[in-house]
């Protein structure tokens, strides 16, 4: 009965998730990067050629492109366009994507909907992996907690509906971590004197699965490579058994064996990535001078290695000035991601994270022995609390260390363009928090062996999960623009962060609906996005914006009086309002509007000014 009830509640949660995801995504216009990812995916599915997969490996894009290619066989790929031959060389994939979505084909709405569906299922897959990992680490009571926390986080919901690689990379990083844990925990159970080959018996399947998981992660998003040193550190740490009981020599030998198995899995992962790139073998095409000597030499998956180089260059220099709390920096902000995490993570999650770190990492004082089962004294089972505390602490560290190291690595990047780059640490946070459910399930009244009734023990977490779901429901359908109340909520978000934190071009369709509801025939539009307003029949006068040429070209000569704008209805994307492409000290085009409160807003990404 209890299992049926738990599974029934999880099914209800899944149905609610699908309704929230689908209902919100149909009203979101194509966001800034989606056309690029969809074009890559469809091109790879149709041609098996990964030439467009620079900076973004093909796995997640191919999953998005598969239903589009299968269900819309009449689609045309612009392979006859110069962009297919990498012309111009720096932005060819942008040109290819624009031609594919807006010029060669007509049904943008169906293409975007079909391309987003696999990402929704990947989000469900992320929650399922979190369910399994939480169950393996903490036990059955924690599994549904991790599942619900992951499924209804506003930031996961935001990017769990878009055709990008962010959610795919997050899912496969967590999958790889779970498979590595299974490999290492199995290895610990072997006798320490077992010197057999790592390819014998039960070891080989676990190594192969771990290598497959790592390969899927690297083949989904290049930022997953940041987990290589993190996983290496986890291999060396004594987190998989009673490490404190071993001599230093035996512990070092166990760590060496785990590291060896990790390296073997890493070698396998390279083969998996090569397979995902369709066993590409052609000439390398690097841009940096110190690698230019390899250009012209044929080798495996040159697009992957060129993408790694590109990401390294972008991480060091950034694409354009970073924005944080109303300030710009050409070199990025070291605290950008920690501050973004504090502002865009639900307050309930932050509070539970502090509680989890306190209760799961700090040993709790207990009586010398704890009764495990209520039986007759002569048959009772006893366990030293030190053993339970040590195991709990090791498993909490297995989750806390990757999250902390990934956040630390993020501070070294000047590519400060969105909270979405922090998504891979969220599953570790939520699986860690789910460990509190185990503590509550084991709770006994002080000085007794009496346990509270199951419904009473689970009541606090039931209320917390309902509050967490409520956070997602309250921000629906504007998940991308979520900010917690300590940061002033989503209505204040545009003053703190821009780009994919709040404005990714998702509210264009809502602007069209706002114009219809308010009897507005035309607006002056400062657009930030790759979606074409003219495609949707939106009557407007272009203002400076990006990246479409009709808007980009107006930065040098604004069509309105910057100090005293002419009367009219101005609809300005918040990223355009901060004049992203203009250097610091020359952001004067929209200064009149920044100094005033908007009259209205569309979603939280387009501000409306009624100038009379």
pLDDT tens for 306-351 read 888 888 776 655 567 899 999 999 888 999 999 999 999 999 999 9
Mean pLDDT of the chain: 87
**Residue 246 DSSP class:** S
99-153 tens-digit pLDDT: 999 999 989 999 999 999 999 999 999 999 999 999 999 988 899 999 999 999 9
Domain boundaries, the chain: 344-475, 496-611
Whether 29 and 509 have beta carbons less than 8 Å apart is answered as yes
Q: Is 377 exposed, middle or buried (0-12, 13-18, 19+ CB in 10 A)?
A: exposed
Question: What are the φ and ψ backbone dihedral angles of 295, each rounded to 5 degrees?
Answer: -60, 135
More confident residue, 582 or 18: 18
Is 80 exceeded by the pLDDT of residue 388?
no
| pLDDT for 375 beyond 50 | no
Q: Which two tokens stand for residue 373?
A: 């089962």
Helices 108-138, 2-25: crossing angle, 10 deg rounding: 150
CA separation (Å) from 291 to 56, 309, 533?
20, 9, 42
Residues 6+ positions from 541 with CB-CB distance below 8 Å: 522, 523, 524, 525, 559, 568
H or E element at residue 170: helix 166-188
Can you read off the two tokens belonging to residue 593?
A: 């509007």
Q: Are 162 and 119 in contact (CB under 8 A)?
A: yes
* DSSP conformation class of 130: H
Q: What is the pLDDT of residue 413?
A: 85
Distance of CA 467 to CAs 13, 149, 354, 464, 470, Å? 13, 10, 17, 5, 5
- Give the Å distances, CA to CA, from 279 to 52, 172, 267, 310: 15, 21, 16, 21
How far apart CA 369 and CA 586 sit, in angstroms, is 69
Helices assigned H by DSSP within 51-107:
58-71, 92-98
Neighbours of 462 (CB within 10 A): 12
The two tokens of residue 272 are 């998996």
pLDDT at 370: 44
128, 79 contact by CB (below 8 A) = no
Q: How far apart are CA 593 and CA 578, in angstroms?
A: 10
For 480-501, the pLDDT digits (tens) are: 999 999 999 999 999 999 999 9
Q: How far apart are the first and last CA of the chain?
A: 66
The C-alpha atoms of residue 426 and residue 171 are separated, in whole angstroms, by 11
Are β-strands 540-542 and 523-526 bridged in parallel, bridged antiparallel, or unpaired? parallel
What's the average model confidence in pLDDT over 576-580? 94
Q: Tokens representing 244?
A: 């404190």
Helix 143-151 × helix 426-441 angle, to 10°: 140
The least confident of 58-67, 403-412, 452-461 is 452-461
The DSSP code for 284 is B
Residue 585: which pLDDT band, with cuts at 50, 70 and 90? Answer: confident
Q: Tens of pLDDT along 240-259?
A: 875 445 567 788 888 899 99
Taking the C-alpha atoms of residue 402 and residue 424, their distance in angstroms, rounded to an integer, is 10
How far apart are alpha carbons 384 and 387 in whole angstroms?
A: 6
Contact status, residue 314 vs residue 293, Cβ threshold 8 Å: no
The pLDDT value recorded for residue 441 is 54
What six digits make up the tokens of 322?
A: 């970073």
Average pLDDT rounded to a whole number, residues 61-75? 95
Burial classification of residue 33, based on how many CB atoms lie within 10 Å of its CB (0-12 exposed, 13-18 middle, 19 or more buried): buried
| φ, ψ dihedrals at 216, nearest 5° | -65, -40
Q: Give strand pairing partners of 371.
A: 382
Can you give the pLDDT at residue 86? 80
Distance CA 332, CA 335 (A): 9
Contact 335, 345 (CB under 8 A): no
- How many Cα neighbours within 13 Å face the side chain of 161? 29
Name the percent of the chain lying above pLDDT 90. 70
Q: What is the DSSP string of 484-516?
A: -GGGT-GGGGGGT--GGGT-SSTTHHHHHHHHH
Q: What is the pLDDT of residue 68?
A: 96
Q: How many other CB atoms are found less than 10 A from the CB of residue 316?
A: 13
Question: Could you please report the per-residue DSSP string of 564-586?
Answer: SPPSEEEEEEHHHHTTTTSPTT-
Structure tokens at 68: 């589009």
Inter-residue contact 371 to 378 (CB < 8 Å): no
At residue 382, the pLDDT reads 35
d(CA 591, CA 103): 35
pTM of the model: 0.91
Q: Which of 606, 609, 376 is nearest to 503 (CA)?
A: 606
Please tell me what DSSP assigns to residue 444. Answer: B
Question: Is the pLDDT at 365 greater than 90, yes or no?
Answer: no
Q: Sign of the C-alpha dihedral, residues 129, 134, 139, 140? A: negative
Mean pLDDT in residue range 379-407? 75
Contacts of residue 134, Cβ cutoff 8 Å, sequence gap at least 6? 142, 143, 145, 146, 147, 431, 434, 435
Tell me how far CA of residue 473 lies from CA of 23, 222, 276, 431, 468, in angstroms: 12, 32, 37, 22, 9
């Amino acid at each position: 009965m209890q299992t049926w009830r738990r599974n029934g509640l999880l099914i209800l949660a899944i149905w609610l998730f699908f309704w929230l995801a689908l209902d919100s995504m149909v009203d979101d216009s194509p966001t800034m990067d989606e056309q690029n990812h969809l074009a890559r995916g469809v091109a790879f599915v149709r041609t098996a050629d990964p030439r467009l997969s620079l900076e973004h490996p093909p796995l997640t894009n191919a999953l998005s492109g598969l239903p589009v290619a299968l269900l819309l066989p009449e689609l045309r790929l612009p392979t006859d366009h110069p962009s297919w031959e990498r012309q111009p060389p720096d932005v060819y994939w942008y040109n290819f994507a624009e031609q594919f979505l807006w010029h060669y084909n007509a049904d943008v709405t169906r293409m975007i909907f079909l391309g987003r569906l696999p990402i929704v299922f990947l989000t469900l897959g992320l929650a399922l992996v979190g369910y399994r990992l939480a169950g393996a680490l903490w036990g059955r009571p924690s599994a549904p907690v991790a599942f619900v926390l992951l499924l209804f986080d506003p930031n996961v919901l935001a990017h769990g509906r878009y055709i990008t690689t962010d959610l795919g990379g997050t899912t496969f990083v967590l999958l790889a971590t779970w498979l590595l844990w299974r490999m290492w925990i199995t290895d610990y159970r072997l006798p320490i004197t077992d010197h057999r080959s790592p390819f014998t018996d039960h070891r080989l399947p676990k190594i192969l699965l771990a290598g497959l998981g790592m390969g899927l992660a690297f083949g989904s998003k290049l930022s997953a490579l940041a987990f290589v040193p993190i996983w290496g550190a986890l291999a060396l740490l004594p987190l998989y058994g009673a490490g404190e009981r071993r001599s230093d020599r035996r512990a070092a030998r166990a760590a060496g064996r785990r590291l060896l198995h990790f390296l073997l899995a890493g070698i396998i992962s390279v083969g998996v990535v090569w397979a995902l790139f369709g066993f590409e073998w052609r000439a390398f095409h690097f841009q940096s001078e110190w690698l230019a000597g390899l250009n012209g030499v044929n080798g495996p998956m040159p697009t992957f290695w060129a993408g790694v180089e590109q990401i390294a260059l972008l991480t060091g220099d950034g694409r354009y000035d970073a924005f944080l709390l109303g300030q710009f920096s050409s070199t990025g902000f070291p605290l950008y991601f920690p501050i973004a995490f504090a502002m865009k993570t639900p307050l309930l999650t932050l509070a539970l994270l502090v509680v989890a770190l306190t209760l799961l990492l700090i040993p709790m004082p207990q009586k010398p022995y704890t009764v495990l089962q209520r039986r007759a004294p002569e048959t009772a089972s006893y366990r030293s609390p030190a053993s339970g505390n040590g195991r709990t602490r090791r498993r909490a560290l297995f989750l806390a260390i990757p999250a902390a190291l990934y956040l630390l690595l993020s501070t070294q990047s000047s590519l400060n363009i969105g909270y979405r780059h922090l998504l891979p640490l969220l599953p570790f946070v939520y699986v860690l928090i789910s460990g509190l459910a185990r503590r509550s399930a084991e709770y006994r009244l002080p000085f007794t062996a009496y346990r509270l009734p199951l419904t009473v023990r689970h009541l606090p977490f039931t209320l917390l999960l309902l509050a967490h779901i409520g956070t997602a429901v309250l921000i629906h359908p504007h998940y991308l623009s979520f900010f917690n109340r300590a940061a002033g909520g989503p209505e204040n978000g545009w003053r703190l962060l821009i780009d994919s934190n709040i404005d990714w071009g998702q509210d264009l369709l809502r602007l069209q609906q706002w114009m219809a509801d308010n009897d507005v025939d035309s607006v002056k539009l400062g657009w930030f996005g790759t979606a074409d307003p003219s495609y949707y029949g939106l009557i407007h006068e272009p203002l400076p914006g990006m990246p479409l040429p009709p808007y980009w070209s107006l930065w040098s000569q604004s069509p309105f009086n910057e100090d005293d704008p002419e009367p009219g209805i101005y609809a300005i994307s918040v990223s355009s309002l901060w004049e992203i492409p203009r250097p610091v000290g020359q952001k004067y085009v929209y200064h009149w509007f920044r100094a005033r409160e908007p009259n209205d807003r569309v979603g939280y990404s387009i501000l409306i000014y009624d100038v009379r």
